[in-house]
Structure formats: C-alpha cells, structure tokens
Amino acid sequence: MNRKLKHTIKILLPLLLGVFLVWYSLSKVSVSELLVYAKQADYTWILCGMFLGLLSHLSRAYRWLFQLEPMGYKVKFINSVMAVFATYLINYTIPRAGEVARASILTNYENVPFEKGFGTIVAERIADLIVMIGIITITLFLQFDFIYAFLLERFNPLKMVLLIIGMVATIFVFTQFIKKSKSTLALKIKTFVNGLIEGALSIFKMKKKWAYIFHTLFIWSMYVLMFYVTSFSLEDLEGISMGAILIGFISASFSIAATNGGIGSYPLAVYAAFSIFGIAEEPSIAFGWIMWASQTLMIIVFGGMSLIYLPIYNRRNKE
C-alpha cells in the first residue's frame, strides 16, 4: 500500500465512521425527538458549560507558554490562544493535523522552530494522558462496588477471573518479549514508552513546574465540570449521579479519538455509559448531542476567528 493511499484512508475512514454513527444515532432517536429536547433544554446551563470549556482552552494556551519560555521563546499569549483554537478546528477536518498546524503557527509568527514547538505539544499530550489515567483510576475506585456488581450480574464470575488472569499473563509475556526483542516493532514500542516517561519527568524539571501542573489539573477539572454542568440543562437527567457523570465523561473523551471531533460517536458513547446506570436512551443521546454541538459551535466560532485574525494581528504587530 503506497503512502498516498494510506493518507487517504486515514482521512476518509474516520469521516465515514462518523457519518455511519450519526445515522445510527438518529435511527435510535429521531431528529424531531432531538429537536424537542433542544427546545426544552435550559440554555443557561449550556452557556455555563461552554464558558467552562472556553476557560479550559485559555488555560491550555497559557500553560503552553511555560514549556516554551525555558527554550528562550517569549510567545505572545494571543498567538498561543489562536493556535490552540485553530488546532481544534483543523482536527475536525483531518485527524491530528491540528497539532502539526499548531506548531507551524508558532514557526510562522513567533519564529519557534517546528520540531521544538511540536515537541512541547507531545509532552503536553503526555501530561494530559497521565491526568486522564488518574481520572479513570479515581472513577474505578469510587464506583468499584457498582462496576463490580454490574459485571457480576452480566458475566460469569469464573470467566471474569480467568479473563483477568489471562490479561495479566498476556501483559507480562508481552512486556518481557518487548524487553528482550530486537525487532523494529519492539524498538519502536520501547522508544515510545521511554519517550512517555521522559516527557512526563521533564515536567518536573521546568522552572514553573507547579504552575504547569496547576493548569493541567485546572484544564481537566473544567472538562469534567463542563460535562456535569451541561447535564443540568435537561430535566430528564435531574439527580444524575457523579458516577454516571464520570463514566460518561471518560467514555465521551475516548469517542473523540474515534471520529473527527467525536462526530456521531460522542452521543453514542454518552448513551453507552449512561445506560449502565439505567438512564433512558432518548435523554442520554439527546444530552450527548447537546454537549457535542455546544462545544463544537464554540470551536467553529473561535477557531474560525483565529484562522482569520492570526495573519491580520501579526501583520499589524510587525508594522
């Protein structure tokens, strides 16, 4: 398979999957039903959720400055903000192209070498991954009894034990194989893992490491709060438990990687999580669409403005 065909498949596959999932979602809850929920929704809470999402993006832009400063680059905050919003918008068209564009924006307007800018973005993603793992761990700890009872009810206990033993054994064997193997794949995996560890540890070597850690925790707190606050917009979700919110948030977060910006996959991921807690299908999918649409609208508006204003602002600044 040539490189051009691979690139085309990488672009088309998430788009086609997104279209299919949109169709599948609408086959479960019709457009007319979704419109009823949209009309009845309390937009005060939706706007609050959008504001919290905006705060998280501004914090992400500010956090980026802490990584660039030790390398000798004093990037303007406004350029960092516009680069972040442009990243999110571009990712809706071509997955992961936004990160490349974000580093390119700094190269064009702040004279930051591309490889250095891109390296900070990779380190940033590692920090985000660590926090996400932390959220999953806390959720499993808080909801252990519920999740255990849920799995016990639907799966044979003996099979579950054997599955866990099998998974642990597989991970152990795979780890040992990677350590000893000298194959190209094994070396790539080792390099990747070492990069993750090095990137994570580099945070603690920063001059403003505590400020960086604070903003990282703030960003993800805003993400969770945005999800929680927006749930108040629908009467049918009144009294929803924090466990449902956390599991719904985790499920929805992973769905964003499945399709461009989570189109189609986001509402279904929310429904899959909420169904564990016995929440009805219609309000779950409706909430997923409201949540996705409100945040997407914000990205389109601010991302579009950023792409238009970036050259104008920097041209004026030079003059």
- Condensed to tens digits (0 to 9), the pLDDT of residues 250-275 reads 999 988 877 777 888 899 999 988 98
Q: What integer pLDDT is reported at residue 225 of this predicted model?
A: 96
Quote the tokens at residue 33: 């039903």
**Cβ contact 259:269 at 8 Å:** no
Predicted model pTM: 0.81
pLDDT confidence bin for 74, thresholds 50/70/90: confident
Q: What integer pLDDT is reported at residue 4 of this predicted model?
A: 62
pLDDT confidence bin for 302, thresholds 50/70/90: very high
- C-alpha–C-alpha distance, residues 268 and 26, integer Å: 10
Place of tokens 């905050």: 77
- Whether residue 7 is predicted with pLDDT greater than 60 in this model: the reply is no
- Whether residue 228 is predicted with pLDDT greater than 90 in this model: the reply is yes
Q: What integer pLDDT is reported at residue 154 of this predicted model?
A: 62
19 vs 51: which has the higher pLDDT: 51
Tens of pLDDT, residue by residue over 154-191, are 666 666 677 778 888 888 887 777 777 777 777 777 77
For residue 277, which phi and psi values (nearest 5 degrees)? Answer: -95, 10
Question: What value does the mean pLDDT take over residues 223-231?
Answer: 95
- Three-state DSSP class for residue 96: coil
Question: In three state form, how does the secondary structure of 152-207 look?
Answer: HHHCCHHHHHHHHHHHHHHHHHHHHHHHHCCCHHHHHHHHHHHHHHHHHHHHHHCC
13: Cβ–Cβ under 8 A, 6 or more apart, which residues?
A: none
- Whether residue 290 is predicted with pLDDT greater than 90 in this model: the reply is yes
Instruction: Of 48-52, 123-127, 305-309, give the lowest mean pLDDT range.
Output: 123-127
Tell me which DSSP letter residue 239 carries.
T
Quote the tokens at residue 254: 């992973």
Element (H, E) at 56: helix 43-68
- Whether residue 17 is predicted with pLDDT greater than 80 in this model: the reply is no
The alpha carbon of residue 8 and the mean position of all alpha carbons in its chain are separated, in whole angstroms, by 23
Question: What value does the mean pLDDT take over residues 266-291?
Answer: 90
- Whether residue 114 is predicted with pLDDT greater than 70 in this model: the reply is yes
Tens of pLDDT, residue by residue over 41-63, are 999 999 999 999 999 999 999 99
Taking the CA atoms of residue 147, residue 143, residue 280 and residue 41 in that order, the dihedral angle to the nearest 10 degrees is: -160
H runs (alpha helix) in the chain: 3-28, 31-40, 43-68, 77-91, 97-110, 114-142, 144-154, 157-180, 184-202, 209-230, 242-258, 265-275, 281-318
| Sign of the Cα pseudo-torsion (294, 297, 301, 307, in order) | positive
Quote the tokens at residue 21: 């999932």
